[in-house]
């Protein structure tokens, strides 16, 4: 699928006509509830229009060799596809099928230039001009139809496993599962809280969440945490892992919960541990693996992101990537929260920082064990940023509503590969919002492919947020999602 960024004066119906797709299809793949609420700078998906073989009309002076060079193919291939007996002789005006290329019809809109169109489609001005026999590239006209040459897409998509953290909210899951389900491998139910005695506090109605997941061929995982009160407690983790009898009881409790509710495995999400407890955590995960793997359960963990070992640092020091990578089936790396509620305002998952983490992680852990974490939320910070100020969480659709209601355009940071905007609220307070859109998601999906990862995973604040169809239209267009 293509991506288009809304410009001043755009309407969805005009965009649909320009790209040769129906308005209904455009609304469907993007999950837009109101086609009239568009924001300048908003990114939307453009479904592929019906593809046609690219036809090139031979110009005076053309040779098959020159045409082959222009379209990055060979004389032999051109001759074979077009049944040309003598490659040294072609007639001006003859129409040739160009192998490996397609033509997409585009309707010129007022104000368009061939240069702008070429940038939009990633093809040279010269090639568009030659295919359309445009003598003067400066002279194109509104409502003129151009054929845009594009390399035929690779029909073989890479395989990927996809995880989504979910919450004990069956209603929200029922809303989201029909939309997200075809593109999910795992649902990770947050959270089963461990106690200092080694028992687990079971969240409300896990059986319903497991059942909904199974109905949509999603493998459910139980997320076990060291959450106590209102935060992740390092002392709780130490108590559970440091005492052999409590550790054994905790592992037995996890095993029993998996069996009782029909989970496919566990996702251990211990956070904010003491850095010096690294050996305790390694031993806990090893003993958990030795108990669960013979029973056919997956052992997965969530780890904090880091671009070097940093064994003495809080939050990240406990995680020994190399050892853990040998022990677990899947390592979900929480590659987000650079921008956090305490500020300063910035991208939540800047691509340049995520890249550094993945470069380090894949040097120690087999890439086929790693899931790259992606945030499906944004933060809205009041300005000026002070030590006391705190951001509020916004959904991806909520970010568009904020921008639309404030009448502001959305910007895009090319280094962080993330959208953002500022607006002033009715009380006169300036705000800065950073979030994710299909451009930033595509950049992250491309990064997962570049590093050969097992796949990607998502965190958001509520199950219903997974019902935003645009996410899954892009994901399932990018990957063949594995079901297990």
Strands (E), 408-453: 411-413, 418-424, 430-434
Check: CB of residue 295 under 8 Å from CB of residue 287: no
d(CA 403, CA 425): 11
301 phi and psi angles, rounded to 5 deg = -135, 160
Residue of 303, 15, 306 lying closest to 3 (CA atoms):
15
**Torsion sign over Cα 235, 240, 243, 246:** positive
DSSP helix/strand/coil, 147: strand
d(CA 322, CA 331): 11
Burial 106-133 (b: 16+ CB within 10 A, else e): bebbeebebeebbeebebebebbbbbbe
Pairing relationship of beta strands 52-57 and 95-107 according to DSSP bridges: antiparallel
d(CA 360, CA 2): 31
**Torsion sign over Cα 47, 48, 50, 56:** positive
Whether 368 is catalytic is no
Burial 72-103 (b: 16+ CB within 10 A, else e): ebebeebbeebebeebeebeeeeebebbebbb
DSSP state of 401: H
Check: CB of residue 376 under 8 Å from CB of residue 459: yes
d(CA 161, CA 274): 31
Check: CB of residue 198 under 8 Å from CB of residue 247: yes
DSSP helix/strand/coil, 212: helix
Catalytic residue selected from 76, 80, 105, 271 = 271
**Torsion sign over Cα 174, 175, 178, 183:** negative
Active-site residue numbers?
A: 271
């Amino acid at each position: 699928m293509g991506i288009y960024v809304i410009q001043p004066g755009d309407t969805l119906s005009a965009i649909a006509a320009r790209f040769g797709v129906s308005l209904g299809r455009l609304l469907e793949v993007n999950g837009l509830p109101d086609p009239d609420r568009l924001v300048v700078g908003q990114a939307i998906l453009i479904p592929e229009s019906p593809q046609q073989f690219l036809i090139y009309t031979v110009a005076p002076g053309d040779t098959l060799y020159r045409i082959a060079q222009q379209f990055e193919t060979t004389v032999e291939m051109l001759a074979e596809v077009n049944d040309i007996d003598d490659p040294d002789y072609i007639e001006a005006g003859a129409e040739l099928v160009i192998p490996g290329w397609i033509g997409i019809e585009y309707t010129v809109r007022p104000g368009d230039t061939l240069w702008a169109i070429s940038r939009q489609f990633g093809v040279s001005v010269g090639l568009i001009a030659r295919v359309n026999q445009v003598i003067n590239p400066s002279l194109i006209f509104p409502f003129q139809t151009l054929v845009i040459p594009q390399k035929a897409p690779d029909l073989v998509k890479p395989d990927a496993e996809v995880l989504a953290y979910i919450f004990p909210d069956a209603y929200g899951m029922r809303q989201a599962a029909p939309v997200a389900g075809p593109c999910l491998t795992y649902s990770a139910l947050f959270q089963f809280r461990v106690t200092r005695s080694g028992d687990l506090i079971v969240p409300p109605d896990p059986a319903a969440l497991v059942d909904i997941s199974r109905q949509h061929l999603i493998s459910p995982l139980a997320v076990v945490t060291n959450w106590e009160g209102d935060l992740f407690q390092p002392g709780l983790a130490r108590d559970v892992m440091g005492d052999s009898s409590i550790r054994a009881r905790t592992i037995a409790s996890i095993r029993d919960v998996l069996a009782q509710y029909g989970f496919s495995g566990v996702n251990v999400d211990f956070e904010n541990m003491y850095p010096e407890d690294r050996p305790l955590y390694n031993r806990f995960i090893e003993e958990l693996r030795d108990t669960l793997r013979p029973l056919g359960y997956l052992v997965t963990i969530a780890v904090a992101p880091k671009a070097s070992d940093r064994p003495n640092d809080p939050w990240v020091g406990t995680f020994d990537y190399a050892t853990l990578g040998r022990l677990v089936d899947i390592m979900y790396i929480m590659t987000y929260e650079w921008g956090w509620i305490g500020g300063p305002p910035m991208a939540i998952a800047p691509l340049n920082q995520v890249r550094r983490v993945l470069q380090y992680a894949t040097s120690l852990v087999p890439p086929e064990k790693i899931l790259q974490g992606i945030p499906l939320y944004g933060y809205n910070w009041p300005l000026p940023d002070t030590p006391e100020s705190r951001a509020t969480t916004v959904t991806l659709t909520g970010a568009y509503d904020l921008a639309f209601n404030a009448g502001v355009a959305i910007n895009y940071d090319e280094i962080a590969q993330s959208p953002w905007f500022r607006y002033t609220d009715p009380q006169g307070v300036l705000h800065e919002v950073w979030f994710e859109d299909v451009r930033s998601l595509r950049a992250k999906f491309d990064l997962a492919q570049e590093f050969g990862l097992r796949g990607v995973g998502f965190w958001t604040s509520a199950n219903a947020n997974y019902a935003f169809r645009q996410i899954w239209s892009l994901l399932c267009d990018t990957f063949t999602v594995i079901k297990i």
